[in-house]
Amino acid sequence: MTNDENQQYISADKLEDLKKELQDLKQNKIPDLANRIDEAKQLGDLSENAEYHAAREDMAWAQSRVKELENIIDSSVVITETGSSDGIIEVGSNIKVTLNGVSKEYKIVGQQEADPSSGKISNESPLGNAFLGKKEGDEVEVEVPSGLQLYKIIEVN
């Protein structure tokens, strides 16, 4: 793992899913696509061979995805579920905040797992980044597209 801005925070489960996807691409999909390309070549004229061109496009996507997955895996920092014992918000923290008197709960995750509709916000998003390093009782101002919002941190787990 490198110690630079290319680090990607990820849960152990998501990392395992990405490794399985990478293995499937290398062991199954890419060899199958190579066979499709070879079979399409056997059909003759490549200039009008739709199957050949489709297989080549699929192969290019698969090879690009392999590189992307290898980069993610190589730069991954696994999020520990135990979190910080000093109550400081970090990647992996579950937090409860209030905004205009309304209580909301978030989990700070890496960008690969962000799902705002289920309360998982990326550490790289403006909101997630604003919470990092804060603790229970802090107030956090966040500039969002709708304007400046003031969050009060109620609980950190």
8-78: what CATH class? mainly alpha
Q: Looking at residue 2, what is its pLDDT?
A: 37
Distance CA 139, CA 51 (A): 58
| Mean per-residue pLDDT, 132-157 | 92
Q: Looking at residue 46, what is its pLDDT?
A: 76
CATH code of the domain made up of 94-156: 3.10.50.30
Q: Is the pLDDT of residue 147 over 60?
A: yes
Q: Looking at residue 45, what is its pLDDT?
A: 75
Distance CA 10, CA 129 (A): 15
Provide, rounded to the nearest whole percent, the portion of the chain with pLDDT above 90.
Answer: 66
| Mean per-residue pLDDT, 85-112 | 91
| Mean per-residue pLDDT, 4-14 | 80
Residues in a beta bridge with 102: 99
* Tens digit of each residue's pLDDT (9 = 90 or more) over 44-93: 777 778 888 999 999 999 999 999 999 999 999 888 765 555 789 999 99
Provide, rounded to the nearest whole percent, the portion of the chain with pLDDT above 70.
Answer: 94
* DSSP string covering 31-49: HHHHHHHHHHHTTS-STT-
All structural domains of the chain with their residue ranges: 8-78, 94-156
The crossing angle, in degrees rounded to 10, of helices 50-74 and 30-41 is 160
Any residues with CB less than 8 A from the CB of 80 and at least 6 apart, and which? 92
3 pLDDT band, cuts 50/70/90, is very low
